[in-house]
Amino acid sequence: MRRFSLFVVLFLGLATLLMPPAALPTNAQSATPRAGCPTTTEDENEAVARRWYDEAINEGKLAVIDEIAAPDILHHGGTFPDSEGPDSVKGVLGALRTGFPDVKHTIEDVITEDDLVVVRWTATGTHTGEFQGVAPTGKQATWTGVGIFRFECGKIVEDWSEVDGVGRLQQLGVMATPTP
């Protein structure tokens, strides 16, 4: 099962890399390194991606986004609309923490390649606040996802998040689970 999971994470990362340029957002089309910035190692980029989950989301230290994200970060939020800039990203992560104040992401796998870091994770949280228009249910949910981060100068310039939002809604009792 672990080998299959790694394959899926790698496939999603490669699929993003192999998208034709017209399918990529504007920031990704101009993915030339910024002049005058230091290069970073794959390990340094991985450490920054881990801070996204460990500090910004799990600990609720949203100010960390100002440290780890570029001023023009483009966040493709999966179950949220795309957002640009650290303040917009903090708004998205803040909405998650409002709906699930105790949310905890556990990193399952990390794959790094050049300026990309792919993270497969599992999250658990209790729905005690409004989330995406859904009133608090008091139910606990566990969902999975994948984050893909692109780096320049040691900062996240773009990220993609794929989340099992349907499974989360089903666990909250907001969406019916299909019967076979």
> The whole model's pTM is what?
0.79
* Spatial CA neighbour of 74 closest among 89, 64, 84, 66: 84
Residues 125-153 have pLDDT tens digits of 999 999 999 999 999 999 999 999 999 99
The pLDDT-based confidence of 106 (bands split at 50, 70, 90) is very high
Strand partners, 109: 120
**34 compared with 140, residue with greater pLDDT:** 140
**Reported confidence tier of residue 33, pLDDT bands at 50, 70, 90:** low
pLDDT for 35 equals: 67
Q: Which of 24-28, 38-42, 94-98 has the highest mean pLDDT?
A: 94-98
Residue 173, phi-psi category: left (phi > 0), alpha (psi -120 to 50), beta (remainder): left
Query: What is the model's pLDDT at position 180?
Result: 82
State the pLDDT at residue 178. 82
Q: Is the distance from CB of 40 to CB of 70 less than 8 angstroms?
A: no
- CATH number for the segment(s) 2-17+38-171: 3.10.450.50
pLDDT number for residue 36: 75
Query: Could you state, in order of their start, the residue ranges of all structural domains in the chain?
Result: 2-17+38-171
Report DSSP state, residue 56.
Answer: I
Q: Which of 36-45, 58-67, 150-159 has the lowest mean pLDDT?
A: 36-45
Tokens at residue 150, please? 């692109």
- The residue written with tokens 């799990």 in the block is 58
